[in-house]
Amino acid sequence: MNAHPPKRLTATMLDGGRIVVPAEVRAALGLKKGDKVLVSLDADGEVRLSTQRQALRKLQALMEPFKRPGVNEIDDFIAFRRAEAAREERGE
Task: Say if CB 23 and CB 3 are below 8 A apart.
Answer: no
Domain count, the chain: 1
Residue 92 lies in a domain: no
Q: Tell whether the torsion through CA atoms of 69, 73, 75 and 76 is positive or negative.
A: positive
Domain region containing 44: 15-65
Residue 2: predicted pLDDT: 60
Write out pLDDT tens, residues 56-69.
Answer: 999 989 988 988 88
| Structural domain includes residue 70 | no
CA distance 79 to 86: 11
* CATH code of the domain covering residue 60: 2.10.260.10
User: What pLDDT does residue 1 have?
Assistant: 56
CB-count burial class (<10 Å; 0-12, 13-18, 19+) for 50: middle
